[in-house]
Amino acid sequence: MNETSKVAGSCLCGAVRFEADLPSKWCAHCHCSLCRKAHGAGYVTWVGFEQHQVSIDNDAGQLEWYESSARAQRGFCRQCGSTMFFKSERWAGELHIAVGCLDGELDRRPDTNAFFDAHVDWMPIDQSLKQLDG
C-alpha cells in the first residue's frame, strides 16, 4: 500500500473539507442510539484515525462541535447539517470520520458491528462481522 496516500471528504455543501492520511486504524458500523439520532440513519459507519492524520479545512468557519455525551463531541457543518466527525476521551487522540462523507476510496472495509446490543430490527445487518456490545 502507498503510505503517502490520502482520502478526502467533505460535508454536503462543501463548506467543511478534510483530508486524512492513510492507513486508517479501523472501520466499523456503530449501532448506538446517539449515532442513529445524529445521522438519522439505522447505523453509522465510522473510520478511525489518529487526530494528527487528519487535516480539516474550516476556512468558511462552518464546523461546529456538539457535545453529544459527557466527554464526547460530534463535528457537523452549521450550514448543511452533515455530521462528519466524532471524538471522545474514551478513544483519546483519535478522530473518527463518518465514511459516508468521504469522496475517495478507503483502505479497508468495516469489520465490526459496534454497540450491537443497541441495534434496530428494521435494518438488514451483516451478521458475518465481529459483534461488540457497548
For residue 112, the SS3 value is strand
For residue 56, the SS3 value is strand
Whole-angstrom distance, CA of residue 134 vs CA of residue 118? 8
Least Å distance between CB 4 and Zn ion? 28
Question: Which sign, positive or negative, has the C-alpha torsion 122, 123, 128, 134?
Answer: negative
Looking at 7, 11, 22, 84, which residue binds Zn ion (CB under 5 A)? 11
Least Å distance between CB 93 and Zn ion? 18
When the beta carbons of 11 and 98 are compared against Zn ion, the nearer one is: 11
Whole-angstrom distance, CA of residue 105 vs CA of residue 79? 26
Site string for Zn ion, 54-83 (x = CB under 5 A): -----------------------x-xx---
Residues that bind Zn ion (CB under 5 A): 11, 13, 15, 30, 32, 35, 77, 79-80
